[in-house]
Amino acid sequence: MVRRRAEHNECEVFSLEEVSLHQQDIERIEHIDRWCRELRILYLQNNLIPRIENVGRLKKLEYLNLALNNIEVIENLEGCESLQKLDLTVNFVGRLSSVDSLKANVHLQELFLVGNPCAEYQGYRQYVVATLPQLQRLDGQEVSRSERIRAGQGLEEVRRSIRRQEQEYARRRAREREEAHQNRADGEEEERRVTQGNSAGQKESEEEEERQEREFWEKPCAFSPESRLEAHRHLEAKKRTTEGEQKPKTPPRTLITAQGRVLNLNQPKLDFCLSEDEEANSIVLDLAVYRHMDTSLLEVDVQPTYVRVTIKGKIFQLVLPAEVRPDSSSARRSQTTGHLLLSMPRAAGEIRATSRVSGPAGKPPSRRTAAGTRRNVIGREWLEADPAHRSVVDLANIVPRGAGRGPLEEGMTRRPAAAATERPVAEDFMDDPDVPALI
């Protein structure tokens, strides 16, 4: 997760100076103090973090944002020597006396505690201002010099009042924990009962599920770390159930049919160009791969009749117009465009229809150049099945029919046909009737 957030730093974690890990459902701070020693700004708002821990080694940390979490005590920040701003908005800090631990952070200038239970205590602002003389702004309001002087007057009485309110809040939190524990036990028992009923074949209807969902969200409960955690787990369970039931399984794509027919496929939706190199007698495929994509993410498979390229798990498959030699094929990336260029030589014996284009009256067409000479034009034509359009020599009619029967021209004589002669029989020849005759 940290490495993904380090894209702007070329994915280097050790030299990170700022990282944002908000809204990631993090339930504990760990490893960050060992991986990112150069960190100056750390965003951890809107998670499920219950304690401030494992940040004491971040000596250069200047800004720590822990808003919208489940923190109840301010602690373990003495090692953050450069800390200037601390945001604990909307947490569950009830022990206001824990701000005494911030006295060691001599560079602390801004502190946000609005939205916490301690912010409702009588004498809250006076106590914080008197406890932290280095503070310049509290909850977004500037601390004036006169306010600091007034805060120091009658501090002992304010401290005793704060202590009594903390004890009352601690008793209320104990009751909330006990109720949350009981509700969780009842929920597990209900879930076990429903599971047993489902295993016995008693499936709940959609109306019953909707009723339970509505009852869960409409049931009154105290705003506490336990209720936030319970709501989060309920949403996660609902999400997993919905994805498991409604998400259809994608069937595997058919690349080759049962009859052996190869199909064309372009899953990555890339532009391509298929051409023929007559000089090299090869087929060239220009595939417009993403310019900045790493070549290790490409897999090329050349077959005699088709080519397959896998780009980050997506398949590009193309049937070739002629048979090629896979062992002599080559693949390379363009250094300017990043395109993938495949050169596939044709197989030996591949027929190419190149012939002279016929002109009027069966003569080859010609064109006159600037010098006045005539040049024959050589072109390409498709192979025709009609004998009337045949452009190759017909061996069947190489000798005219009825040759030797017509009248002879003057000075020519007809040679008599050679008579068939038989070879003499050898003296030691024996005629065996069991031996079949030679054909």
* CA–CA distance, 21 with 1 (Å, rounded to integer): 8
* CA–CA distance, 249 with 383 (Å, rounded to integer): 48
Q: Which pLDDT does position 364 carry in this prediction?
A: 41
Q: Which pLDDT does position 234 carry in this prediction?
A: 82
Q: Which pLDDT does position 313 carry in this prediction?
A: 85
Is the pLDDT reported for residue 10 higher than 90?
no
Mean pLDDT value across residues 44-61 = 93
What is the tens place of the pLDDT at every residue in 78-104?
Answer: 999 999 999 999 999 999 999 999 999
Is the pLDDT higher at 410 or at 261? 261
Q: Which residue has the tokens 């609902």?
A: 238
Confidence of residue 397 (pLDDT cuts 50, 70, 90): low
How confident is the prediction for the chain on average, in pLDDT? Answer: 80
Mean pLDDT value across residues 4-31 = 85
Q: Which pLDDT does position 384 carry in this prediction?
A: 47
Q: Which residue has the tokens 């569950």?
A: 92
Fold classification of 4-165 (topology level): 3.80.10
The reported pTM is 0.54
Q: Name the amino acid, one letter, at 213.
A: E
What is the tens place of the pLDDT at every residue in 336-380?
Answer: 888 999 999 998 755 554 434 344 444 444 444 333 433 444 444
- Whether 234 and 216 have beta carbons less than 8 Å apart is answered as yes
CATH number of this structure's domain 265-345, picked from the four choices 3.30.379.10, 3.40.640.10, 2.60.40.420, 2.60.40.790: 2.60.40.790
What is the tens place of the pLDDT at every residue in 160-180?
Answer: 999 999 999 999 999 888 888
Is the pLDDT reported for residue 302 higher than 90?
yes
Q: Which residues of 8-46 are buried (b: 16+ CB within 10 A; e: fewer)?
A: eeeeebeebebbebeeeebeebeebbeebeebbbbbbbb
Is the pLDDT higher at 246 or at 258? 258
Confidence of residue 220 (pLDDT cuts 50, 70, 90): confident
Confidence of residue 143 (pLDDT cuts 50, 70, 90): very high
Q: Which pLDDT does position 189 carry in this prediction?
A: 66
Q: Which pLDDT does position 278 carry in this prediction?
A: 86
Please state the domain extents for the chain: 4-165, 265-345
From the list 352, 410, 346, 343, the residue with the least C-alpha distance to 380 is: 352
